[in-house]
Every structure is written in structure tokens, then in C-alpha cells.
Amino acid sequence: MLNLADHIELERPQDKLIRRLCDTLGDYLDQDQINECVRAYEFGANAHSGQFRKTGEAYICHPVSVAISLAEMRMDARGIMAAILHDVIEDTPVSKIELAKLFSPEVAELVDGVTKLTKIDSKSHAEAQAENVRKMFLAMANDLRVIMVKLADRLHNMETLGAMPSEKKRRIAKETLDIYAPIANRLGMNEIRHKLEALGFQAMYPMRYAILDSAVKKARGNRRKIIDTIEGSIRIRLDQANLPCNVVGREKHLYSIYQKMEHKKISFSDVFDVYAFRIYCDNVDSCYRVLGIVHNLYKPIPGRFKDYIALPKANGYQSLHTVLMGPYGVPIEIQIRTHEMHRMSESGIAAHWLYKSDDDKPEKFQARANEWLRDLLEIQKMAGDSLEFIDNLKVDLFPQEVFVFTPQGDIIKLPRGATVVDFAYAVHTDIGNACVSAKIDKQLVPLQTKLENGYTIEIITASWARPNPLWLNYVTTAKARSSIRTYLKHFKQQEAIALGRRLLEKELQAMHLHLESIDPDKIKALLDALGMPNFDLLLEDIGLGNKMPFLIAKRMSQDDINAAVKLDISEHRDKTPLIIKGTEGMVITLAKCCRPIPGDQIIGFFNPGKGIVVHQHDCPNKDIRKKNANWLEVEWSDDAKGDFPADLRIEILNQRGSLATVAAAISNQDSNIENVTVVDQDDKISIDLITLTARDRIHLAKIIRGLKELSVVLKITRVKA
């Protein structure tokens, strides 16, 4: 039989840790909540069974150590459970759904949130991207407890770095100093921040850390007398004023000393010659009274006073800072704050409530900040599972921004509501101009898809692609909007010039002339007569329909450029048709009234400023030809390809599933529905106008035949008006 001493000797490290966790939780949670945490431990230990850390200890020791750190900050029960389980989704076969069933959806969401943040770890962090990574961490966590678990996780990883190779140590240390310590600072969690900075500094620069640590220990003995003298003087003055305050000599942190030496390019003695003290008061009024007393005791150094009580830092930090010239000519840094402010500065999580929103006035913002700080401290004092505390932790930290990844792991910051097209232009203008589709987390999505935090986006481009004017309806960034407009304006201009050249050459050929054979002096005289600065502008005007190609060609063929053209152009114009493919772009458009497709007899009209609009020959608007001489013979090219819209008027039985049957039949014929409008409907019949795509008249006829075979379809006609 084992005695107690033998039992303790055989006890596993994880058993000691869970007992320590339960003891800590016992200070502020009830027994039922502690039992739930133990149940989470048993589940986690089983899930991680057979897994070990590089230190050789069982893997479960790590999440329990993380939970202990959070328990010391009085984290609620579900936050502790999430800390114990924070690696099970990532490192074991356990799913989020399983966690939700066994524990609660809230615990499952917290664990899933930590897993998502861990995935950011695996991305490459360029130094210039550190601020975006920090913001992304904050933005991706809907619940601040996720970040608190992640910070505690990183703290324990830093404490157990010893088993890692030196190169990996430095990489993790740099990430800790660049990403995690600033996040802890942003959330007002200074105790964790200082620990992360010290461990990160030691792992990143072990020699510098050792030298600085040794220098601080040597210098400490010589400073003791000066510290005691200053501390004694301050205490005497406070007692005389009947102000009960605590005065504490403050030791500077090694990383803080190193940063000052590095950034200000000063020596260790210059940094360490500054003596630092904190004075803790009972209330805010006492803080300002103490400030007056120390300013009377030692002379303040001008420009070195900061009032963070009236104007707190962004992370909720509050304190009065002043620098005085003390005895022996040494500078003294003094921080004056209430006990409440000190507790907040060590483990506060107030960051996001202090972000100023667009509609906040300064006084409203300040009042809200102070009120929240008071409320949070009250809530933290309460034992157990405070629903109000949990609700307060669920926030959107950056309501105006989203952070997304490129496939290479770079982070792009965009305004909320931004789409895939905005992302493409943010990466590069050429990628935006050539994008045709995109993948989000390896799934194909439409270009108008709105982005959410954490998406990894891959843009698919094509050499033939160009910006679509419809993109302007949903892009949100100025860069995307201006790039699209600039491209379209330039592209339309180039198209108009090319079309103008084709039209002019066609008319000249009818007169047995060629553009190349026209005397340049004659062209210059014509440009002068028309007030055109260059020939391209004239071609653009022809292409846009502002000038008739027949009239310009006629003037070019005349000896006298300025002679009026008095011919009946409807009789003398070239009857050779202009060959089109239907994909020319913005200067040749297909009329929406009759929607011509390859195979239809067509005719073109010059529309000033827009180019040529192509109609069917039997379009109801054909009387334009009688009223207006600006028409042109056009024909479809034999190799016209593409998907062209066509309108069908369909009468179907008004019964459940009829429209779905019609849609399926259209899809089976390799066509796509662009729009459906219900024109008329009663109990028996529904008359619908369907806009679908067809390659040509033959394809459209095949679609119509397929639809006529459906029992629900009563009548089909192609709409031409």
C-alpha cells in the first residue's frame, strides 16, 4: 500500500497542474462551475492522449497552464474551459460541432476563434505587416476572451521555448515582440505584456539581455540610498498633507530600458539614472492633490507632464505622469494613479470600448469610456458566470475595416463592404483590370462577393479580360473606382478610333480610294476646316457617331475640302455592310428593344456620342431609318461567338414547380437565365418574360423546341420589342 509521500512522488505533472487550477478557481467560482472545468480537462486529456510537447511533458500540461494564467486574471468558467480545450480542434479529430454538443455552443465558438487566430500564426509576417496582423487578430475575434486565451497560450509557449532550435526561438520571439506584446498593450493587459516583452527580448537577443540584466543588478546597490531618500521625502510631505497614499519605487523593465537606449541612442547610464516612483491614491481628487505636493517638493521639468486621467490612452490606461529634478540633480519619473486605475493597467481588457466612433463627440466618448471602465471593474469583482460580462466582451473592434489574405499570406486592409474586385485592385491595378473570377478559401465566388475578416482570396485573371462598367455599382474603394473609370474611358476612346478608321476606310473603298493614298496635306486641311487638332480625334468622332463617315470620305475625295457635300447620302452611301462580331465593346452595342443575335438580319444606327446601335431589321424601331439618315448596313461575322441575351415570352401553368421545370430545361440546353419578370398571372396561367443567353438563332430555336416539349408550357414567342 502506497503512503502519501509515495503518491505525491508518483503524481503526474498534469495532476499537479489541474489541482493548482482548481485551487485558483475556488477563490471565485462555485463548485458546479469548477466541476465543468474539470470535465473539460478530462475530455482534453483524453483527446490529446499520446501527444507530447518538445519538453517531453504530456501535451495537456500546456492548455492547463494557459487556463491557470487566465484563472489568475479571474476569467469566467467558459473562458477557462475554452483555454483547456483550445487546441483540440487544431490538433485532434474533435470537431466544433462535437464540442458544442458536449459543452456549449459558446465554448465551441471560443475554441474555434482561437483556432482561426492560430492559422494566422502560420502565415508569413513581414515586418511592415505587423500592424495589420495585430489589427487582424483583434478584428477576427468576436469575443475578447479569444484573444485573452491566445495571449495566455503565447505566454506559456514563450516560457517553454528552451527545447526549440535557436532559429525557431528567434522567429517566435520576434513575432511575440511585433504582434502579441502590442496586442496585450492595446488591451491594457500590462502584466502579460511585460512578461511577453521580457521573454521575447531574452529569446531574441540572449547576449544583450544577459549584459543588461547584469548591469541593472550591479547598478541597483548604488541607487538604494538615493531611492530611500526620495521615497522618504515624498512620504513625509504626503503625511503632512494628511493624504494616505502608497509610494513605491518602480523598477524599469529590461526591454523598456533596451528600447529607450535603441530609439534615443543613449547609454545605459543615461537611462538608468532616471529614478521612477508610483504613488497610489484612494480617489481621483487625491491624485491631483498629490501632483501639487510633489511639484512643490521638487521642480517639474517643463513639457514632461502628461494627464492620462482626464485623457486616457486608447487602451483605457489612466495615470498622471510627471518628471521632476530631484536631489543630486537626478531626474525622477512619478506616476500617480488610484488603486483602481492600477488594477486596470495591469489586467484591463478595455481597448475596443475606447475606440472613437464616427458619430461620437469628444465629451460623449470620454463619458462612455469612464463609465465602461467603472462598470467593468465592478463586474470583475463579481464571482462566477456574469452574462453581462460576457456580453460586454462580444464586440466588433474595427467596424470600418476588414483584413484579408493574399495566397502568399500578405494581409490587405480594406473598408467594410469591400468586394472581390476592390481586393483585386488593392493588390495591383493590372490584376483588377484582368480579373474574371475569384476563389475565397479555395471556393469559386462571384466578383461582387463582400469580404469578411480572415478570407484568403485568389484572383483568377485572363489576358482578354477587361473591366466591366457594372463593377462601378458595387466597388467601394476609390482606387478601384478610379481605375475602372480611367480604363473604360481610355478603352472606349481606343475602340472608337478603331471603329472610325474601319467606317472611313469602308466609305473610301466605295469611292475607289484608300486612306493611305490620301494626300497628308489634304487631311491636314480637312482637320483645320473641322477645327480638329489631330486625325485620331476625327476618327474617334466618326466611331462615336458624332460625324458621318460617308460625309468625311466625300470631302476627302473632293479637290476642294471646303466645298459642301450636296448629295443625297441615303442614295449614294456605300452598300457594303460593316461586318460585326457583337463583342466589339462599347462603341458597337446591341439594342435592348429587339436583342439581335447571330443569324438575325440586322441594321445599324449612328447614335451620337455612343457609336453604332445594332437592331434587328424587323425591329419595331425600324422607322428610325425613315426619319433619320444616320443608318448603316451591318452583317454578322461568320465567326461571331459568345452568349447573347434574348427575350422569350412564355405562358406556363401556374402550379408549384413550373418555373423550376422551365429553368432546368433552359440549363440543360446550355443556356443561362439572366432575368425573369412575371408579366401577368391568374389562378391557372402565368405569363413570364425570361431573358436568357443564346449563341445564335439555331441555339435559340433548339432552346424553344426543348421548352415546347414541357407539359407545363402552353405558348412561347420571341419578344422583339
- Active site residue ranges: 90-91
Instruction: Show the beta-strand stretches assigned E in 673-719.
Output: 673-681, 685-694, 713-718
Report the amino acid identity of residue 380: Q
In this structure, what are the phi and psi dihedrals at residue 79, rounded to the nearest 5 degrees? -65, -40
- 178 contacts: CB under 8 Å, gap ≥ 6: 125, 127, 130, 133
The Cα–Cα gap between 83 and 302 comes to 48
Helices (H) and strands (E) in the chain, counts: 30, 20
Distances (CA, A) of 293 to 141, 226, 280, 283: 45, 19, 14, 16
Strand 631-636 and strand 578-580: the pairing is parallel
The cell for 101 is 454538443
Give strand ranges (E) for 494-643: 578-580, 588-590, 602-607, 611-616, 631-636
Residue type, 531: G
Q: Which of 191, 140, 193, 189 is nearest to 349 (CA)?
A: 189
For the chain, give the number of residues: 721
- What is the three-class DSSP state of 400? coil
- Measured distance CA(679)–CA(102) in Å, rounded: 53
Alpha helices in 73-143 (DSSP H): 77-84, 88-91, 96-102, 105-121, 130-140
What secondary structure letter does DSSP report for 470? G
Beta-ladder partners of 321 = 306, 335
Q: Report in angstroms the alpha-carbon separations of 636 from 509, 582, 584, 596.
A: 20, 8, 12, 10
Give 136-157 as a DSSP string.
Answer: HHHHH-SBHHHHHHHHHHHHHH
Strand ranges, E, within 251-391: 275-281, 299-300, 306-307, 320-325, 331-338
Please give the single-letter amino acid code of residue 425.
Y
